[in-house]
Amino acid sequence: MAAAASSVNRFETEAILNRHTLGIIMGGGAGTRLFPLTKDRAKPAVPLAGKYRLVDIPISNCINSGVRQVYVLTQYNSASLNRHISRAYKFDLFSHGFVEILAAQQTPEGEAWYQGTADAVRQNLRNFTQGKYEYFLILSGDQLYRMDFRKVLTRHLEHNADITIATIPVDERQAKSFGIMQTDPDGRIRNFVEKPKDPAVLQSLAMPAEIVQQLKLGEDQPYYEASMGIYVFNRAALIAALDNDFVDFGKHIIPQAIKDYKVLSYPFQGYWEDIGTIRSFFEANLDLCSVVPQYDFFDSQAPIYTHARFLPATKINGGSIHRALLSDGCILSEARIENSILGIRTVVEAETSIKDCIIMGADYYAGAVNCPINRPATGIGRRCKIERAIIDKNVHIGDGVVITPKDKPENFDHPEGLYYIRDGIVVIPKDAIIPAGMWI
């Protein structure tokens, strides 16, 4: 990349992030590709890594980067998301920090729900521009990554950009599923194609060899700059870019903005996963069980924040555990756990085997004040065998149950909604009751 146009020190950047930058997190639409995990909740509220929610990732990235004023835009199944954010993110009375929900609403300017990412920001623009914000950091609510936004804003300021887009190198196979950028030697984006399929077009968008070498990507194949859906807008650029009827940033706003404004690329190298499907959600979670996972929740310099529940330590009454994450408040009795995540308050009885699974746990213990009456206790009974499955919250699984996708179709819906299969993964929906002895 060419040398910076001007120098911006760390203290200037942090002052701007603290006082003049607003974080805007897109809560997503109906989340149909993550169904049934989104049957009763918004996509950002889907549990992650046993004790977190998806929305905790972008919020924590903001807080760790000094962005303390954040709105989350939602419209679908937002009750649990509202509850989580109100409980988890409370700033002291002497700061101006906040994390607040902005749900779709009818206003004098319009009565329609959000039609896309750009439309969601446009409908709330009057709320955003009431403050003295000069920069707007727009993020997705369903991605797993760790990014220091101070570096993004520093690059944005040094190059006097109107808009900066975070990009990540991808290979040819991945490029067909992303918006692909083409930049000049100064890092300015000159071209953008949404999900290019034509081989000739794709070839024309390949990153220059010198950039590939600079980023140390290897030269065995072509690489492409894919948009991460992370944007920094100057105030004037955002207002002007939304002065139209375009509904989506990636498909509409960005291609037009490249023609009218100075749009810069911020190349990001690190782990990043767009958790948009059951398969990507399943694989990203289970990777956390690896000896050295691609995403590190143990980074003390940039912790991931969530709702503090003050649960007791997990209790293990024998059994065997290999490559697993055990969240707070679990009770395990002579069970075998392998390559699995157990969420908060998970109860597993004796002689049960769990392999390659995500167990999301429960919102209550049996007999608690908030425990529903007239239903069996949450948890997994005796002598069960469960593999390659996602068990959502507050599920009761009786004794002797077998759950496996073996010899079953890749995708299937149980007629009564008792279970679903997506991409060869069995999903037991929230609050389900699986009777003893059932074979799924």
Domains, the chain, with CATH or none: 10-287 (3.90.550.10), 315-434 (2.160.10.10)
Q: How confident is the model at residue 107 (pLDDT cuts 50, 70, 90)?
A: low
C-alpha distances out from residue 247 to 113, 157, 241, Å? 11, 27, 11
Record the pTM: 0.92
Q: How confident is the model at residue 374 (pLDDT cuts 50, 70, 90)?
A: confident
How far is the first Cα of the chain from the last one, in angstroms, to the nearest whole number?
55
Residue 76 has pLDDT above 50, yes or no: yes
Q: State the average pLDDT over residues 341-358.
A: 97
Parallel, antiparallel, or unpaired for β 143-145 and 69-74?
A: unpaired
Percent of the chain whose pLDDT exceeds 70: 96
Q: How confident is the model at residue 28 (pLDDT cuts 50, 70, 90)?
A: confident
Residue 192 backbone dihedrals phi, psi, to 5 degrees: -150, 130
Q: How confident is the model at residue 237 (pLDDT cuts 50, 70, 90)?
A: very high
Q: State the average pLDDT over residues 298-323.
A: 94
Residue 406, number of CB atoms within 10 A of its CB: 9
Longest dimension (CA), the chain: 69
Residue 347 has pLDDT above 50, yes or no: yes
Closest by CA to 25, choosing from 227, 230, 255, 194, is: 230
What pairs with residue 10 in β-bridges? Answer: none
Query: What is the distance between the alpha carbons of residues 48 and 361, in angstroms, rounded to a whole number?
Result: 11
Provide the pLDDT for residue 61: 97
Q: How confident is the model at residue 212 (pLDDT cuts 50, 70, 90)?
A: confident
Q: State the average pLDDT over residues 82-90.
A: 92
Q: How confident is the model at residue 4 (pLDDT cuts 50, 70, 90)?
A: very low
Query: What is the distance between the alpha carbons of residues 185 and 213, in angstroms, rounded to a whole number?
Result: 13
Q: Helix axis angle, 10-20 relative to 149-158, nearest 10°? A: 110
Residue 112 has pLDDT above 80, yes or no: no
- Considering the chain, what is the average pLDDT of its residues? 90
**pLDDT tens-digit map of 29-48:** 667 889 999 998 889 999 99
Q: Hey, what amino acid is at 88?
A: A
Q: State the average pLDDT over residues 377-393.
A: 97
